[in-house]
């Protein structure tokens, strides 16, 4: 009886195994990738999701799942997912967040995975932001200079010189302009509002224009902090505006950029230094008839140089399909697609060809000013510094906040940044 039953049992087993393949047929061989995006503005989310859909339609054998992440928690979330072996295949982040992940072995080296088209389309200065050691651990694709958003009527009626990218204000002239605007605007109004809830990146990136570097890499490859005259220009200017000239609003030092917009629209502040992408909120929220313009940030002797930390796309080292993940990145960053992503996020593309697109060079909404600044953007000073997130959170943020409020002086600021900061970096470089 057992012998007679065997063929039936085998047949049933074969049928069961056939049914275990989910959809069955060719889908068993489908490669499935997870893409964690940090897009958050509706236009940007829509652009990302549309590109994923277009990829999936044209690549039935390689299907990409869109996963929504958050800028607020991405570093800790990624660290947990890397250590737990659950990282997404394709990772959206910012270049200044990659160093610890790259040196920790969590991100794939993309040098042999990316096509020559993509490598040559993005300038070397941008690639420097994602180069750690010998490897390239992310593709920089969107970048955001910091600009001055100004009330056009207040500026033009004041009689001060209006700057251009070719002839920006110096930091000294900027200070004088904000004093003059404050004098003309009257009691309770200010020439500038500095939203400095996150003071570190603002200070360091704008500091490049004045010769600031702060981080220095020795012959042994290790990074230390050193405070020079160039590093003091930007924080000194801001502190003087707030505490000496009273030309900058003290009340905005602890808030984010969005929190300054109602006061800006109401004529309380003549100018607000903001990231380039804030233009979208201004277009959406400005009252009817409000006129605004985009000006370059103040500059030092080297022109309007400033540091940026581009948004990046990386591949997890643990991904079983690195080649296919890199193919998806190449698709996302074809020039027309890069333009779509830039327009969706109101930022500038890193790609040379995408940056030539007429849609990114119109005078409307300040696009032309941003495009003209692109050639002056440099890697943020902290790009490849291991331990930067901890130094920023535990040492630099409270030190700059206290300095700007007037609670500590320049000597104490330097002591905090250098003497308290170097032991933090040293721990990561043993």
| pTM given for the model | 0.87
Would you say residue 366 has pLDDT above 60?
yes
Quick count: other Cβ atoms within 10 Å of Cβ 216?
12
At 70, list the tokens.
């958050």
Q: CA torsion sign, 266 to 268 to 271 to 274?
A: negative
Tens digit of each residue's pLDDT (9 = 90 or more) over 180-200: 999 999 999 999 999 999 999
The structure tokens 């002056």 sit at 376
pLDDT band at 4 (very low <50, low <70, confident <90, very high): very low
∠38-65-51 over CA atoms, to 5°? Answer: 70
Task: Name residue 295's beta-bridge partners.
Answer: 148
126: nearest Cα among 351, 345, 304: 351
129: nearest Cα among 96, 100, 152, 161: 96
Name the phi and psi angles at 286, rounded to 5. Answer: -60, 140
Contact 165, 363 (CB under 8 A): no
Would you say residue 25 has pLDDT above 70?
no
pLDDT for the residue numbered 213 = 87
The structure tokens 């040196």 sit at 103
Tens digit of each residue's pLDDT (9 = 90 or more) over 278-298: 999 999 999 999 999 999 999
More confident residue, 221 or 107: 107
More confident residue, 16 or 263: 263
The mean pLDDT of the chain is 92
Would you say residue 52 has pLDDT above 90?
yes
Would you say residue 205 has pLDDT above 50?
yes
At 146, list the tokens.
């910091």
Tens digit of each residue's pLDDT (9 = 90 or more) over 318-351: 999 999 999 999 999 999 999 999 999 999 999 9
pLDDT for the residue numbered 221 = 84
pLDDT for the residue numbered 430 = 81
pLDDT for the residue numbered 27 = 52
């Amino acid at each position: 009886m057992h012998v007679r039953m065997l063929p039936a049992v085998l047949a049933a087993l074969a049928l069961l195994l056939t049914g275990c393949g989910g959809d069955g047929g060719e889908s068993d061989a489908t490669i499935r990738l997870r893409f964690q995006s940090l897009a958050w503005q509706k236009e940007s989310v829509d652009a990302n999701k549309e590109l994923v859909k277009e990829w999936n339609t044209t690549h039935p054998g390689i299907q990409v799942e869109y996963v929504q992440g958050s800028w607020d928690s991405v570093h800790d979330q990624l660290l947990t997912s890397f250590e737990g072996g659950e990282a997404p295949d394709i990772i959206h982040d910012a270049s200044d967040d990659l160093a610890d992940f790259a040196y920790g072995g969590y991100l794939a080296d993309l040098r042999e995975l990316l096509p020559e088209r993509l490598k040559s389309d993005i300038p070397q200065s941008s690639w420097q932001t994602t180069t750690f050691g010998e490897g390239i651990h992310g593709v920089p694709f969107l970048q955001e200079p910091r600009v001055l958003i100004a009330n056009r009527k207040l500026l033009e009626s004041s009689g001060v010189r209006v700057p251009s990218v070719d002839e920006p204000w110096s930091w000294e002239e900027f200070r004088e302009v904000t004093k003059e605007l404050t004098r003309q605007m009257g009691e309770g109004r200010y020439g500038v509002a500095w939203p400095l809830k996150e003071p570190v990146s603002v200070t360091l990136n704008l500091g490049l224009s004045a010769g600031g570097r702060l981080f220095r890499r020795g012959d042994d490859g290790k990074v230390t902090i050193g405070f020079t005259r160039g590093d003091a220009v930007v924080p000194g200017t801001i502190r003087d505006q707030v505490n000496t000239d009273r030309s900058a609003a003290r009340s905005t030092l602890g808030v984010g950029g969005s929190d300054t917009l109602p006061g800006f629209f109401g004529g309380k502040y003549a100018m607000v230094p903001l990231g380039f992408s804030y233009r979208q909120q201004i277009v959406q929220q400005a009252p009817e008839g409000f006129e605004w313009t985009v000006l370059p940030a103040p500059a030092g002797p080297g022109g309007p140089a400033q540091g940026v930390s581009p948004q990046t796309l990386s591949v997890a080292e643990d991904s079983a399909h690195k080649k296919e993940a890199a193919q998806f990145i190449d698709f996302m960053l074809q020039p027309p697609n890069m333009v779509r992503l830039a327009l969706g996020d109101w930022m500038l593309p890193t790609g040379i060809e995408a940056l030539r697109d007429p849609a990114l060079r119109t005078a409307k909404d300040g696009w032309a000013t941003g495009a003209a600044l692109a050639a002056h953007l440099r890697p943020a000073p902290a790009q490849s510094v291991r331990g930067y997130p901890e130094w920023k959170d535990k040492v630099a943020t409270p030190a700059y906040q206290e300095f700007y409020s007037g609670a500590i002086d320049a000597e104490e600021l330097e002591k905090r940044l250098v003497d308290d900061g170097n032991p933090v970096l040293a721990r990561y470089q043993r």
